């Protein structure tokens, strides 16, 4: 077995050399993406490897990738990067990408997660090749290959308890020791495995392990478990199987059966690659070919190649599925699709577009070493998209009534404003103008600070698309808070600057009588620390931002929004980008979620 291990070291070194030769290409992937302009995706080391394989004729000129999510939660923005990479390299090389659910751990999986994953992939704009696939569809073949490993003396049934197995495994600095059951005969192993399959034993009584090397420097090669007993009903196969394969065993064989050419995965699987290769090389290639989708002759059948890339990490965010699930189950957020969550469903509900996420993933690049991407880059991507695509509208978040004392009581004008100042194709919108209106309370100060450019007593401002008004009197409640402003308007200033007078600024407004009552949810970052996973922080939940959601009732929006569809996005002038909530809005109530503020710090930093 020592020679086998040295062989994998040689293979690993060869791959590392190839990676180093591609470093210059990888550096390019960290520059801003060209995807936003519609040109070719940025190069990276994986694309270079695939180009070399195509030029050499490896895999008969084919590119077949797969996206293999485990259906134990909703997909997050890190999965979006993997989706864009796997589907993207297949598309750009005229290949195909499979969707295969790694459903080997049914105790944590559900149909809800399967449905959400499929919906997320389609929403992002990708379509998998053929039917949706499941590792569970291959359980019969996986079982047969396990029997083949037993017959060849490369697998055995171990009866150590889980605690004993951990003790025998050794540590990262000390070798393990052989299981006392390692030298069972082939006949005994076959018998025990058949009885495991028949459901005779309780959970944990036995496991099927690969026979590799308990002294291997790579701990993943120390006789890893291939099958374990789990008396759990499966969401696809019911109660057919009381034993389930481990991911490392099922994944590589599933890749080979689907004729995957490039198995792209994140860096945590780099140390698993020798096991990936050991399993495939330990099986009879003709058997793998016979069980595969390949229509090529057996002589042309090529095993898949695993290539690792750095996972996506974003500051002010946690990406652990375990922690995201904890946030949901403990009630810190309102479900997997809460707009504060980094899940694809959450981002979509918040108002992020599929294009903005694809562009962000392209900008983030594909690297070999782990790093942290600024969340400001993600926010920049959606601002960039919505700045061009979102119609403008006015919404007053904290209404303060204004009465124009010199405006006729029975007069209503119709003001016409562009839906987008830079895109005439979006048309125009009509807004009624009358004696009473609302402005935002933040746009008035009775005692203004220096250089204040909004409304205050005796000061004039322009209403967006309307007249110049002046505050003449302030009406207050019993606590001394302003509740109404009595103002006068200049009828000669519609679209015209007043002569000889200085206007402080421009503020937004809505008509009082025709305004829509709406609910506005102000979303902010879920965590207030840049690295919630910092080892010096005892519990990442200590970093939760108590102001991550502020719900504003009684907001007033312009009437042109009355028939806007769910998920429609708008720029609320001077406030930010907002979308209509896809679930909570209805004929009786319109709910807007703030997608992102107007200020773009990343664009300034990156320019």
The DSSP annotation for 478-544 comes to TTS-EEEEEEEEETT-TTSPPTT-----EE-EEETTTPEEEEEEEE--SBSSS-TT-TTSS-GGGGB
Using 50, 70 and 90 to split pLDDT, how confident is the model at 51? Answer: very high
User: Do the strands 569-572 and 576-580 form a parallel or antiparallel pair, or are they unpaired?
Assistant: antiparallel
pLDDT of 452 strictly over 80: yes
Q: What positions carry a catalytic annotation?
A: 70, 311, 321
Segment 254-278 shows an average pLDDT of: 97
pLDDT tens, residue by residue, 180-197: 999 999 999 999 999 999
- Is 394-514 in CATH node 2.60.40.10? no
Using 50, 70 and 90 to split pLDDT, how confident is the model at 32? Answer: very low
DSSP per-residue letters across 23-51: HHHHHHTTSPPSGGGT-PPPP-HHHHHHH
Percent of the chain surpassing pLDDT 70:
92
pLDDT of 601 strictly over 90: no
Where do the CATH 2.40.240.10 domains begin and end in the chain? Answer: 394-514
What pLDDT is recorded for position 299?
A: 84
- In sequence order, the 6+-apart residues with CB closer than 8 A to the CB of 223 are 158, 176, 178, 179, 182, 209, 210, 211, 212, 213, 214
Sign of CA dihedral 440, 446, 452, 455: positive
Return d(Cα 309, Cα 89) in angstroms, integer: 14
Distance of alpha carbon 52 from its chain centroid, rounded? 30
- In sequence order, the 6+-apart residues with CB closer than 8 A to the CB of 469 are 402, 404, 455, 460, 461, 462, 463, 487, 488, 489, 490
The structure's pTM equals 0.90
User: Do the strands 207-210 and 516-523 form a parallel or antiparallel pair, or are they unpaired?
Assistant: unpaired
pLDDT of 20 strictly over 70: no
Segment 287-316 shows an average pLDDT of: 93
- Is 138-245 in CATH node 3.20.20.70? no
pLDDT of 221 strictly over 60: yes
Segment 96-123 shows an average pLDDT of: 97
In angstroms, the Cα distances linking 519 to 345, 351, 393, 555, 579 are 21, 16, 15, 6, 12
- In sequence order, the 6+-apart residues with CB closer than 8 A to the CB of 163 are none
Using 50, 70 and 90 to split pLDDT, how confident is the model at 607? Answer: low
Using 50, 70 and 90 to split pLDDT, how confident is the model at 38? Answer: very low
What pLDDT is recorded for position 587?
A: 85
Where do the CATH 3.90.800.10 domains begin and end in the chain? Answer: 138-245
Return d(Cα 417, Cα 440) in angstroms, integer: 19
> What kind of fold does domain 2-135+249-312 have according to CATH?
Rossmann fold (3.40.50)
pLDDT tens, residue by residue, 135-147: 999 999 999 999 9
What pLDDT is recorded for position 40?
A: 63
Return d(Cα 475, Cα 483) in angstroms, integer: 6
Where do the CATH 1.10.1160.10 domains begin and end in the chain? Answer: 313-389+516-557+563-607
Return d(Cα 248, Cα 135) in angstroms, integer: 12
Q: How many CB atoms lie within 10 A of CB 236?
A: 17
- Angle ∠(581,558,553) on CA atoms, nearest 5: 55
Among 36-40, 396-400, 472-476, 535-539, the range scoring the smallest mean pLDDT is 36-40
Using 50, 70 and 90 to split pLDDT, how confident is the model at 6? Answer: very low
Contact between residue 390 and residue 596 where contact means Cβ atoms under 8 Å apart:
no
pLDDT of 152 strictly over 80: yes
> What kind of fold does domain 313-389+516-557+563-607 have according to CATH?
1.10.1160
Cα Rg, the chain, nearest whole Å: 31
What pLDDT is recorded for position 300?
A: 86
Return d(Cα 432, Cα 550) in angstroms, integer: 30
Given strand 516-523, what is the order of strands in its sheet? 392-393, 569-572, 576-580, 590-596, 516-523, 549-557, 395-396
Contact between residue 382 and residue 464 where contact means Cβ atoms under 8 Å apart:
no
What pLDDT is recorded for position 480?
A: 94
Segment 585-590 shows an average pLDDT of: 91
- In sequence order, the 6+-apart residues with CB closer than 8 A to the CB of 421 are 392
Segment 266-295 shows an average pLDDT of: 96
**Which residues lie across from 580 on neighbouring strands?**
592
pLDDT of 199 strictly over 70: yes
pLDDT tens, residue by residue, 419-441: 999 999 999 999 999 999 999 99
Sign of CA dihedral 4, 9, 14, 15: positive
Where do the CATH 3.40.50.620 domains begin and end in the chain? Answer: 2-135+249-312
What pLDDT is recorded for position 18?
A: 36
């Amino acid at each position: 077995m020592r020679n086998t291990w040295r062989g994998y070291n040689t293979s690993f070194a060869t791959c590392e050399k190839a990676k180093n030769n591609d470093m210059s290409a990888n550096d390019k992937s960290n520059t801003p993406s060209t995807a936003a302009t519609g040109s070719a995706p940025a190069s990276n080391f994986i694309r270079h490897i695939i180009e070399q394989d195509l030029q050499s004729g490896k895999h008969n000129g084919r590119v077949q990738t797969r996206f293999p999510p485990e259906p134990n939660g909703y997909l997050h923005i890190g999965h979006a990067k993997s989706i864009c990479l796997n589907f993207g390299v297949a598309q750009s090389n005229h290949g195909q990408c499979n969707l295969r659910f790694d459903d080997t751990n049914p105790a944590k999986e559900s149909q809800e997660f399967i449905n959400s994953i499929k919906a997320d992939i389609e929403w992002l704009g990708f379509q998998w090749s053929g039917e949706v696939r499941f590792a569970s569809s291959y359980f019969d073949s996986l079982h047969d290959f396990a029997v083949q490993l037993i017959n060849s003396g490369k697998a055995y049934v171990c009866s150590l308890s889980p605690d004993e197995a951990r003790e025998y495994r050794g540590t990262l600095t000390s070798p393990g020791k052989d299981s006392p059951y390692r030298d069972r005969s082939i006949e005994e192993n076959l018998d025990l495995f058949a009885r495991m399959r028949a459901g005779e034993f309780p959970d944990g009584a036995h496991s099927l392990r690969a026979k590799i090397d308990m002294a291997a420097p790579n701990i993943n090669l120390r006789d890893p478990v291939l099958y374990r007993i789990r008396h759990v009903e499966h969401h696809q196969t019911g109660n057919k199987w009381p034993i389930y394969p481990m991911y490392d065993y099922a994944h590589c064989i599933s890749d080979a059966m689907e004729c995957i050419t490039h198995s792209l995965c994140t860096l945590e699987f780099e140390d698993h690659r020798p096991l990936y290769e050991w399993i495939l090389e330990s099986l009879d290639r003709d058997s793998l070919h016979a069980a595969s989708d390949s229509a090529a002759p057996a002589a042309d059948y090529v095993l898949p190649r695993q290539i690792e890339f750095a996972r996506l990490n974003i500051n002010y965010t946690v990406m652990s599925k375990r922690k995201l699930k904890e946030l949901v189950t403990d009630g810190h957020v309102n479900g997997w699709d809460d707009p504060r969550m980094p899940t694809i469903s959450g981002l979509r509900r918040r108002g992020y577009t599929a294009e903005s996420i694809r562009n962000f993933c392209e900008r983030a690049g594909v690297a070999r070493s782990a790093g942290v991407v600024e969340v400001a880059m993600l926010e920049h991507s959606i601002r960039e998209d919505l700045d061009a695509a979102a119609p403008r509208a006015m919404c007053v978040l904290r209404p303060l009534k204004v009465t124009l004392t010199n405006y006729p009581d029975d007069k209503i004008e119709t003001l016409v404003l562009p839906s987008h100042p830079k895109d005439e194709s979006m048309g125009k919108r009509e807004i009624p103008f009358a004696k009473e209106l609302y402005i935002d309370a933040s746009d008035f100060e009775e005692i203004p600070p220096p250089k204040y450019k909004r409304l205050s007593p005796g000061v004039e401002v322009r209403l967006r698309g309307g007249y110049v008004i002046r505050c003449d009197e302030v009406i207050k409640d019993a606590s001394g808070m302003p509740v109404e402003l009595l103002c006068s308007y200049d009828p000669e200033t519609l679209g015209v600057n007043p002569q000889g007078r200085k206007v402080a600024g421009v503020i937004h407004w809505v008509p009082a009588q025709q305004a829509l009552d709406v609910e506005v949810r102000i979303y902010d970052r879920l965590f207030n620390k840049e690295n919630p996973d910092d080892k010096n922080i005892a519990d990442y939940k200590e970093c939760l931002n108590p102001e991550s959601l502020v719900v504003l009732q009684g907001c007033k929006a312009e009437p042109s929004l009355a028939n806007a569809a769910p998920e429609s996005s708008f720029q609320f002038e001077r406030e930010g980008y907002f979308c209509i909530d896809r679930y909570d809005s209805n004929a009786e109530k319109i709910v807007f979620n703030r997608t992102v503020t107007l200020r773009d710090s990343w664009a300034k930093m990156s320019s």
